[in-house]
Every structure is written in C-alpha cells, then in structure tokens.
Copies of this chain bind each other. A is one copy, B any other.
Amino acid sequence: MPKKVDRQERRTLIADALMRVAAEQGLEAVSLRHVAAEAGVSPGMVQHYFRTKDEMMAFAMAVVRERGQIRVGDALARLGENPPPRQLLRTMIAALLPLDEQSRNDGRVALAFLAYTAVRPAAAVAVSEDTAELVDFIAGVVPGPAPREVAAGVLALMEGLGVYLLGGHYTPEQALGALDAHFDMVFHRPATT
C-alpha cells in the first residue's frame, strides 16, 4: 500500500475486499478478520476505518450504488441528446440489471445488503432515499395515468428481475424479454384505464 493514502481511498480498498468476500462466499462470510485478510491489512486497520459491520456494509453498498450510477450515466451518454422516453428508461434499467460479471458481483452485494437490512431497517435509509428518487424520475418519463404507481412497478420489476438473474432463475434473454413486454404495455397503454 502506498505510504500516503487518504481516508476515502483506504475505505474504498477495504470495501472492495468486503465486496469480493460477499460476492464469492456470501454475506455470512463477511467478518472483520476475513475482510482484513482479503484486503491485506490488519483487523485493527479495518476497525479504524469502520467501527461496525453496519458501517462497512453501508459503505460497500454506497460504492455499489455509485458504480450503478456511473454505468447508467455511461449508457445514457451513448444514447445522445433527447432519446425517446422508452429508450431512455430501457437503457437505464438494463444498465442496472446484473447482466455482466461486474454488475453481477455488485448485484450480489446489493442483494446481500437487502437481506441484511430486511432485519435492520435503520441501515436501509440511504437505499430508501435512492428508491424514492428513482420512482420520481421514472414517474416523470412514463406516459398515461397513475405515473407514480407505474413507476413504482417499473422499479420493483427491475429489482425482481435482478434477483432472478442472480439466482439463475431467469436467463438474460428472459429478463430482457420480460422488461420489453413490460415497456410494450407501459408505452402503448390506453390513455385511461
């Protein structure tokens, strides 16, 4: 490790180690000692940067979210200016699905984090804020009645497709087929229901 490493870099280094452990062996393998070994630092060093496992998990999740935002930003940049709403949403959701190795690893961490926070709701606040923001954004893009309900459905569909992709229950083709069938409905539905 270089001599001068700032706090954020070291935290990221440790969070990366945590994610490798979680992605390869599952959340239950994540311990201070295990993460320290993976990162090549002492357990005391890990504890210096993350006082609790909750803190470590929350930081790892923040890294995963940031990577997701970067993937979305890159994919949208490739679309050029003012893409049609359907293409915009499809590109955004597809960029967030675990369809390649890096996003699968991130997805495993996200799923582990969701399972972790299902019994510790306080740790889920940041994710809840993200979710609400995404619902707002999607609601501004979908046409027709009940945009907030439709948007909440689009986001939940994404989450469910992600879970089934990670578990190997859906193939990438099935997941994208379900997504496209969903957008067929969202963007072709009658003006009143």
* B118 lies within 8 A of A166 (CB): yes
Interface string of A13-40 (1 = CB under 8 A from B): 0000000000111111010000000000
Closest to A25 in B: B119
Interface string of A150-193 (1 = CB under 8 A from B): 10110111111111101111100011011111101110111001
* A156 lies within 8 A of B164 (CB): yes
Taking CB atoms, residues of chain B closer than 8 Å to A157 are 153, 156-157, 160
Taking CB atoms, residues of chain B closer than 8 Å to A175 are 152, 156
Q: How many identical subunits does the complex contain?
A: 2
The segment from A42-50, A79-87, A121-129 that touches chain B is A121-129
* B156 lies within 8 A of A160 (CB): yes
The listed residue (B160, B169, B184) touching A163 by CB distance below 8 A is B160
**Is A114 part of the contact surface with B, judged by Cβ < 8 Å?**
yes
* A152 lies within 8 A of B174 (CB): yes
The chain A residues found within 8 Å of chain B, CB to CB, are: 23-28, 30, 107-108, 111-112, 114-121, 124, 127-128, 131-132, 146, 148-150, 152-153, 155-164, 166-170, 174-175, 177-182, 184-186, 188-190, 193
Q: State the 9 A-B residue pairs at the shortest beta-carbon distance, nearest first.
A: A156-B160, A160-B160, A159-B160, A149-B181, A152-B178, A28-B28, A185-B185, A115-B115, A153-B178
